Amino acid sequence: MNGSARVRIEKMVYGGAGLARVEGRSVYIPFTLPEEEILLAPRSETSEEGRIQSVLEPSAQRVAPGCMHFGVCGGCQYQQASYEEQLRIKETILRTMLERNGVPVPEKLQTHSAEPWGYRNRIRLRLDSFEGRWRVGYVMRGSRVFMEARECPIAAPLLWRAAQAFVASSQLVPAQSREVEFFCDASEQTVQLSLSLNAAMEEMERESPKQFRKLCDAIRVSVPELSGAGLFVRPVTASTKTSKRGVPAEQAEEIEIVAWGEPKLLYKVDALGRKYTHAIARGGFFQVNRYLVQELVELALGERQGGLAWDLFAGAGLFTQALVDRFQQVIAVEVAERAFGSLRDFVAHSSHQAVRETCVGFLRKRVASTAMRKPDLIVVDPPRAGLGEELCGLIAKVEAKEIVYVSCDPETLSRDLRKLLNSGYRLAELHLVDLFPQTYHMETVTVLQR
């Protein structure tokens, strides 16, 4: 195709683009909606995706984006769609991907959603020094190029207020700063700051710790909710024994070298008729949608109870705390150091266990043991890479009566479900939980029984 072409968007695909056909060739066009007629710009020699020249017949579900950076920023893909249409698109994509992999989808696919703006309890911003002042931002879509951000409507307002205070204190930001992260509780009563330097310990400038403490003091003046902060450096070498929620070992966790204020954020979750408080260390994993954490816990646990439960990829214990109330013994497995610290502190002085080990290592030992006690329930919440063939095989050998699989990637979910279904499980429930409005990402809770 050398010139422009009129095309009709057939459907949306996972990743955020719409699918159209030009001269028998599939073309993926971002920022479109199903059934729209698009004037496609001439094909670029530097990009495989299609570009909109103009929207000839817009969908009735097309709306004005809620962010000034939409289309340039790499974070959001669906702001052109009404929220009802976003949910419909995600439901269709999830069903299609599962069925393509031979997973029978229940006729009733239950979808759970909440407020689609201001939902994020955590943002991680890139830093750039320009003409003597620091700027915060993200990366431009399809590149690694820095984009200065002047707003982020999907972030909790407290997070963006903290980011603005950070920029206002530019003169105190250490010279080697690379990224800054803000993490707040659901009710925006407290916020933590994590500043990452592009330096290892021996490379760090001598004044950086002192500057960092002054920076935190300055931010606290305009953001009194700032309860704690940490300054982080790169590890010198990555330990072959360390990984972060399944991430390859070479991406070892950063090292906190300076602490200011409280070391952890207390995150309260009211679920299943109880009030839980999670002490989250800076950099520790926690679910990002402050409006749906409660519902996620309730979907994963429901009325389940029994003797023994395993919580694999347990993080800081989001599900572990509720499991402890319902099972006689809970074994929670997590490898990431910061998350495990919270987990270990919670189960201390109880009959429950926190195990710092990879999930595959834990399962290999259990399956090989002749004295293995079969759990009534296994909860798994892996990273986007999913479980994979070996973990699925090991879990199948355990033969737990029920598995709750919490997933953030429908591609790896469909692959893993096929393996587990082939091993004798049946799909009892499937829930789509929209933890990531305005983006193509989706969370699911799947219940398997045998």
Domain regions of the chain by residue span: 1-62, 122-265, 289-449
233 or 1: which leads in pLDDT: 233
Which pLDDT score, from 0 to 100, does residue 249 have? Answer: 41
Name the least confident of 75-89, 234-248, 384-398.
234-248
Which pLDDT score, from 0 to 100, does residue 46 have? Answer: 60
pLDDT tier at 250, thresholds 50, 70, 90? very low
Which pLDDT score, from 0 to 100, does residue 167 have? Answer: 97
Are the CB atoms for 392 and 425 separated by under 8 Å? no
Q: What would the pLDDT profile of 65-115 be if each residue is shown by its tens digit?
A: 999 999 999 999 999 999 999 999 999 999 999 999 999 998 888 999 999
Mean per-residue pLDDT of the chain = 94
Token pair, residue 237, equals: 């070498």
* Residue 248 CB neighbour total at 10 angstroms: 10
Per the annotation, does 285 bind a ligand?
no
- % of the chain surpassing 70 pLDDT: 95
Per the annotation, does 334 bind a ligand?
yes
- C-alpha dihedral sign at 316, 321, 323, 327: positive
Per the annotation, does 449 bind a ligand?
no
Alpha-carbon Rg of the chain, whole angstroms? 23
Per the annotation, does 313 bind a ligand?
yes
- The CATH homologous superfamily to which domain 1-62 belongs is Nucleic acid-binding proteins (2.40.50.140)
Phi-psi region of 31 (alpha: psi -120 to 50; beta: other; left: phi over 0): left
Q: What pTM value is reported for the model?
A: 0.93
Which of the following CATH numbers is that of domain 122-265: 3.40.80.10, 2.40.50.1070, 3.40.50.1220, 3.10.20.310?
2.40.50.1070
Which pLDDT score, from 0 to 100, does residue 43 have? Answer: 78
Which pLDDT score, from 0 to 100, does residue 237 have? Answer: 60
Q: What would the pLDDT profile of 36-63 be if each residue is shown by its tens digit?
A: 999 999 877 666 789 999 999 999 999 9
CA distances (Å), origin 364, targets 138, 179, 372, 391, 392: 40, 37, 11, 9, 12
pLDDT tier at 281, thresholds 50, 70, 90? very high
Strand arrangement, sheet containing 52-57 = 5-8, 37-40, 52-57
Which pLDDT score, from 0 to 100, does residue 435 have? Answer: 98
Are the CB atoms for 228 and 273 separated by under 8 Å? no
* Residue 26 CB neighbour total at 10 angstroms: 11
Average the pLDDT over 414-442 and give the result.
Answer: 97
Which of the following CATH numbers is that of domain 289-449: 3.50.50.60, 3.40.50.150, 3.40.50.300, 3.90.920.20?
3.40.50.150
User: Hey, which residues are catalytic here?
Assistant: 408
